[in-house]
A and B are shown apart, each in its own frame.
Chain A
Amino acid sequence: GQQVMQIPQYQHVQEGEDFTTYCNSSTTLSNIQWYKQRPGGHPVFLIQLVKSGEVKKQKRLTFQFGEAKKNSSLHITATQTTDVGTYFCAGLIYNQGGKLIFGQGTELSVKP
């Protein structure tokens, strides 16, 4: 079945360092969404990318959607302790009845 793979599974950084997580799908996606889940919390929507090659920024966060709409990345510049949590990508596949398939997430820890 369709899968969305996310790497790395864990990332430990020093505060101020950059962080990137990558997401790859086995099939073309209609759109891709990114969510953040704080420890003990629930997923919270960050952003949605729809167009091929799209790039969006939210302050220190930069999101990209690949040209083939099969991969995406999230880059955080100069991490802060408030960035701690697990970042999930989720790909929407319309020809599967609109199913949103989540990656396994990248857990980010930031050492002050």
Chain B
Amino acid sequence: EAGVVQSPRYKIIEKKQPVAFWCNPISGHNTLYWYLQNLGQGPELLIRYENEEAVDDSQLPKDRFSAERLKGVDSTLKIQPAELGDSAVYLCASSLQLGNEQFFGPGTRLTVL
């Protein structure tokens, strides 16, 4: 069974540029999460989807971040414009349902110059 797929694995951009990350969760997993992980820290939730509905986006900086999961399967996280402080690893995870173990993708390491 394929795991959570993310692309790209690495992205280097200049500040003020837009960037997008893509995630394909494990087949059948209704719940999808986007996390941000800074070096030496634990993952911090940005947004959680139940199917196509965003049920927790309280930590998403909505002035520059947006996300979508149109058909309740794969998802895209966008930053526009990127700032220096956005440099981090962006992790996508999925689970069968809320409260179950989460399966993480390999992450996208973003560097903003």
Contact = CB atoms under 8 A, between A and B. Distances in A.
B22 to A, nearest CB: 16
Contacts of A45: 101-103
A60 interface: no
B104 A44 contact: yes
Q: Chain A: interface secondary structure?
A: strand
Contacts, number: 51
B106 interface: yes
Interface in B58-113: 91, 93, 98-99, 101-107
Interface in A96-112: 97-105, 107
Contacts of A52: none
Nearest to A97: B56
Nearest to A10: B40
Interface string A26-63: 00001101000000011111001000000000000000
